[in-house]
Amino acid sequence: MDKLDSGLAIRGDIAIKTAQASYCMNDYDFMRECRYEAFCSNPTVANYLRLFVDKESIEKYKGLAEKRIEDLSEPEKRHIMEYSYNYEFESDYHYLQFFSGHFDKVVDRCKNQKASLGWTGTFIPHGIDLMLLYLYAEPHPKKAVKRIADRVTNRIGFDKAKNLLFFKENHIFEKDVSEQEKGEIFWNTFLKWKENYWIPDHTLKEYVDWLEGVIDGRIHGIVGGKYRRKYEDTALLAAAIGEVKESLGEKLAKWDLLNKYMKEYSCY
């Protein structure tokens, strides 16, 4: 790997294959180093989250990986061709900001979208889903949060077997991986990752209040404007913020929210 430019995407693929060989030779320290090098050459969310599968990787590589993300000074376009330099899509860059603990930057990015309509092609739907998942405080996702988690799972590439390697002890080669497990793998990894990024209670409450306000505005804009194709999505957001509030101790929050909107909009 040392002979390849660290900016080549193919170097990340080679690093994963070298990690697989190191696992087979019981050289776990070098395996972890290779997984980190895979992220350095190909800084995707999947490669970043792979650093959180065990305590040793977290202790040695979390800070280095965060520094790597900071060094991506501006969102750059990715050249998808195998041998070209690997750059980040803009949305991928903001996902990495979220997963490296820069929640304030993610929220600020969402706040750039002032209107409750016209979200297509913007980051705010992604940012809202990510913050809903973080703020949910229970170990097992309820129905709406589970659907949000499934959306994020697909967006970050967990629907591809190659991105699920090493997330479970016996998932070393693609033949060992079942893509049917992607949701379970993502959620368990997300919980491990979350243990390393803490938000103070007062800030957490501010984020919940902000999310509820944004979702409320979105519902009024979509349902009030009779954009029927978006009704299901707004209902999902309302249910998810209700589940978040219930997980934080507010009883019947989901029912109260949905009942409020059903009374206000008979078609909802």
**pLDDT tens digits, 67-112:** 999 887 554 434 333 333 444 445 788 899 999 999 999 999 999 9
User: Would you call 8 helix, strand, or coil by DSSP?
Assistant: strand
- Poorest-confidence range of 86-95, 174-183, 212-221? 86-95
What is the spatial distance between Cα 68 and Cα 95, in angstroms, rounded to a whole number? Answer: 14
> Does residue 38 register a pLDDT over 90?
yes
Burial of 261 (0-12, 13-18, 19+ CB in 10 A): middle
Burial of 93 (0-12, 13-18, 19+ CB in 10 A): middle
User: Would you call 198 helix, strand, or coil by DSSP?
Assistant: coil
Position with higher pLDDT, 261 vs 4: 261
- pLDDT at residue number 195: 97
DSSP string computed for 78-129: PP-STTSBP---HHHHHHHHHHTT-HHHHHHHHHT--SSS--TTSSHHHHHH
What is the spatial distance between Cα 263 and Cα 249, in angstroms, rounded to a whole number? Answer: 24
For 267, phi then psi, to 5°, come to -85, -5
User: Would you call 158 helix, strand, or coil by DSSP?
Assistant: coil
| Global pTM value | 0.91
DSSP string computed for 243-260: HHHHHTT-TTHHHHHHHH
